[in-house]
Structure 1
């Protein structure tokens, strides 16, 4: 039986709120990375961005709204994967399922910060090394970590393809299809792909060397960029790209066509 109209409207609003929440998180991540490129601080990841929100005035209220948005966004992604209202291929549906898991984990983390004691312990999510060590302790653990790294690289390549083809525009209202908006969004999506591929590469190194310490999350991957030749310039370019990805998320929050019916 089809869900009531109100449920579809609530899910659409939640999906848009989730895009806005993601935009806010990546704006903070990109800003920290840009400051690090200028030698004025360190990098952070999405969890660090949420902790930064917590330290602001009315931080718990803001975090609760972000958690709600990410939760609603996760549920919409799950709907996209299971019911496939856009008629996408299997790989795209698998990507939506991965997005569901990522958004759900981040929503729970935000909730644990906003409502300590009610949703797990505050900030109870471990770093990449923690879950990598856990996986490696399992049978075929190195293969599992290596597979996770390959998936992350695949996600990065998928982001790059979307950026080059500008295929995201097919999902946007025509009012958002402006050359300047297209350019910024493409840069943002490409930068997000670069970061995903970097994280995947570190996971494969960790699997190859059987050393969980080699696994690096978003913050460490960005910090590693700064250690390369012309590192501050590379990090600065990726940082601006992540700010552009935040801009794309905000554009999607306003102009993406949200499908909730199969």
Structure 2
């Protein structure tokens, strides 16, 4: 499980670094050739030498992350309070999430190009449109959007408060490494939280206006930052934060308590 977890953190880091790099390109170009989301990251990796091999390794590593999260749900997380119901439920939710991500990557490399590379924007539209058609659909979508906003806020605040310290073997790091990990953890975690919150805001707007098209996936949300008065610089800051979170994930692969 330890090997599976550490491989999973490496894979998560690869995805975030690639999405951040694509977002940097989008900041200064109107070229829409690559999506700034998981699908774009997979396409980017597939275009590299030995791309299929790398994608197989990525998908299997993410499956390892899912198995580790399942073991946490069944037996508890590392730490004195790891067996609490809330912690185990959180791990169970992450297990489901990483199962979906791993399946999409493995299906993509196995030949289903519409699986992992599907646009998150189109997926958001489809899911929102379906939910809005349910009885009390506007309330359900609005509540889901609010939950995503709160989740993003919690992620950002916890990163800024450096709550991740208790999950890392900080005592094994030298002072320069500890400072670097803190920069990556605070910058990457707060940026990731802000991105989640922005996605939630657009979902709420879709619910209020009863317009599924108002809901945006990661790609459209990142591109919307370029349209703010700050110009491309807000998107640049977000892209760098995502790259930082990718590097932080690699630090987790080395020092995370599992």
TM-score range, shorter chain: 0.7 to 0.9
- Summarize deviations over 1:68-111 as a string: whole Å, max 9, x none: 11112122223323432332455554443332232222111101
Listed as ranges, the matches of 1:208-227 within 5 Å are 208-227=208-227
Structure 1 residue 129 corresponds to structure 2 residue 121: no
Cα pair 1:47 1:106 within 8 Å, conserved: no
Cα pair 2:66 2:94 within 8 Å, conserved: yes
Structure 1 residue 21 corresponds to structure 2 residue 18: no
Corresponding residue SS for 1:230: coil
Question: Within 2, Cα distance between the matches of 1:124 and 1:245?
Answer: 21
Corresponding residue SS for 1:185: helix
Listed as ranges, the matches of 1:163-242 within 5 Å are 163-173=159-169, 174-176=171-173, 178-242=178-242
- Summarize deviations over 1:158-181 as a string: whole Å, max 9, x none: 211221111111111223461222
Question: Within 1, Cα distance between the matches of 2:243 and 2:215?
Answer: 25
RMSD: 2.1
Equivalent residue for 1:31? 21
Question: Within 1, Cα distance between the matches of 2:168 and 2:57?
Answer: 24
Q: CA deviation at 1:58?
A: 1.7
Evaluate the alpha carbon distance shift between residue 189 and residue 124 of structure 1 in structure 2; reply closer, same or farther with a 3 A threshold: closer
Structure 1 residue 70 corresponds to structure 2 residue 62: yes
Equivalent residue for 2:46? 54
Structure 1 residue 141 corresponds to structure 2 residue 137: yes
Question: Within 2, Cα distance between the matches of 1:122 and 1:160?
Answer: 30
Question: Within 2, Cα distance between the matches of 1:139 and 1:72?
Answer: 39
- Summarize deviations over 1:11-51 as a string: whole Å, max 9, x none: 21111111111100010110111122233644511122112
Question: Within 1, Cα distance between the matches of 2:227 and 2:135?
Answer: 35
Question: Within 2, Cα distance between the matches of 1:194 and 1:37?
Answer: 17
Question: Within 2, Cα distance between the matches of 1:124 and 1:40?
Answer: 20
Equivalent residue for 2:94? 99
Equivalent residue for 1:160? 156
Question: Within 2, Cα distance between the matches of 1:219 and 1:69?
Answer: 24
Higher mean displacement: 233-242 or 49-58: 49-58
Cα pair 2:159 2:189 within 8 Å, conserved: yes
Corresponding residue SS for 2:216: coil
TM-score relative to the length of structure 1: 0.86
Question: Within 1, Cα distance between the matches of 2:153 and 2:100?
Answer: 23
Question: Within 2, Cα distance between the matches of 1:183 and 1:197?
Answer: 21
Q: CA deviation at 1:257?
A: 0.8
Q: CA deviation at 1:57?
A: 1.9
Corresponding residue SS for 2:235: helix
**Ranges in structure 1 where 5+ consecutive residues have no aligned partner:** 1-10
